[in-house]
């Protein structure tokens, strides 16, 4: 298997979609929920993992699969280590600011009831799901796409695909069209933020996973099992973060002069 080339990103994206079809059907046939806001089709994260490890096997055989798995815990790749604090806090900070905005605008909110004791369990569950997604989005798809389109362009490509990929699960979770459109706008910005965390963090997969898991945990807690979450405000604030990132770190690499930007 040595020397073989992995399938193109477009083949891999198509494979993710095709593998997701049975789970999308399952989500339509059953009203069961994994947790509030998550239909059974949320198990699509298994499809991204399957495609990523298939691509690694095609490229380098079992060794490629082992290397990809090892990258999940590549925390030392990011220097300084404090970059992981950025990874784990940037999107929860966006949601905290969203809550403040909604309070200031007197928007309807359920009574705040954050189950802090659930945080470790939720984070562990979402960490596993984020691993399954980020081995595809960040470690497998982002790098070849950004060679051609730059880091910002690659984030946009993945964001548009991820948004489209999530539309049916959003609908299965009984959200209306306005909510779905707002969440899609957020999803595109979210993928750019994760691309920034990954690239500026020395291409640390662990950093990308932290970022992804932290958002999902914060969303599930906001402020009462996600019941007060407003995707349009989240999207607007996330795109402000994207604007700052592009201005400071540059659209081509999203890494700027960060000490880890030259890491490989």
**Does the pLDDT at position 260 exceed 50?**
no
* Domain locations in the chain as residue ranges: 74-249
Cis amide leading into 240 (omega within 30): no
**Does the pLDDT at position 237 exceed 90?**
yes
Q: Where residue 25 falls among pLDDT bands split at 50, 70, 90? A: very high
pTM exceeds cut of 0.75: yes
* Distances in whole angstroms, Cα of residue 35 to Cα of each of 21, 47, 88, 193: 21, 20, 22, 25
Rg from Cα positions in the chain: 18
- Report the percent of the chain where pLDDT is more than 90: 78
What pLDDT was estimated at residue 259? Answer: 42
What pLDDT was estimated at residue 220? Answer: 87
Q: What is the mean pLDDT of residues 81-85?
A: 93
Tens digit of pLDDT for each residue in 37-63?
Answer: 789 999 999 999 999 999 999 999 999
Per the CB < 8 A criterion, the answer to whether 214 and 123 are in contact is yes
**Does the pLDDT at position 210 exceed 70?**
yes
What pLDDT was estimated at residue 80? Answer: 86
**Does the pLDDT at position 257 exceed 60?**
no
Tens digit of pLDDT for each residue in 104-137?
Answer: 998 888 777 777 788 999 999 999 999 999 999 9
Q: What is the mean pLDDT of residues 203-208?
A: 96
**Does the pLDDT at position 227 exceed 80?**
no
């Amino acid at each position: 298997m040595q020397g073989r080339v992995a399938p193109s990103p477009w083949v891999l994206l198509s494979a993710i979609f095709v593998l997701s079809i049975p789970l999308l059907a399952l989500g339509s046939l059953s009203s069961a929920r994994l947790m509030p806001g998550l239909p059974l089709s949320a198990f699509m994260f298994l499809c991204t993992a399957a495609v990523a490890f298939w691509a690694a096997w095609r490229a380098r055989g079992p060794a490629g699969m082992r290397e990809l798995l090892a990258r999940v815990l590549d925390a030392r790749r990011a220097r300084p280590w404090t970059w992981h604090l950025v990874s784990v806090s940037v999107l929860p900070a966006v949601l905290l600011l969203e809550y403040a905005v909604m309070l200031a605008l007197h928007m309807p909110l359920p009574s705040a009831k954050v189950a802090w004791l659930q945080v470790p369990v939720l984070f562990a569950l979402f960490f596993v799901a984020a691993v399954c997604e980020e081995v595809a989005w960040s470690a497998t798809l982002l790098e070849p796409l950004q060679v051609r389109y730059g880091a910002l362009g690659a984030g946009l490509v993945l964001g548009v695909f991820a948004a489209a990929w999530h539309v049916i699960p959003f609908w299965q979770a009984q959200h209306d069209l306005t909510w779905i459109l707002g969440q899609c706008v957020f999803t595109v910005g979210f993928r750019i933020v994760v691309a920034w965390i990954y690239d500026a963090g020395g291409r640390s997969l662990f950093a990308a996973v932290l970022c992804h898991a932290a958002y999902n945990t914060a969303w599930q807690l906001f402020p009462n099992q996600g019941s007060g979450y407003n995707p349009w405000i989240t999207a607007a604030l996330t795109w402000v973060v994207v604007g700052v990132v592009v201005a400071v770190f540059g659209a081509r690499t999203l890494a700027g002069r960060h000490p880890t930007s030259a890491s490989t």
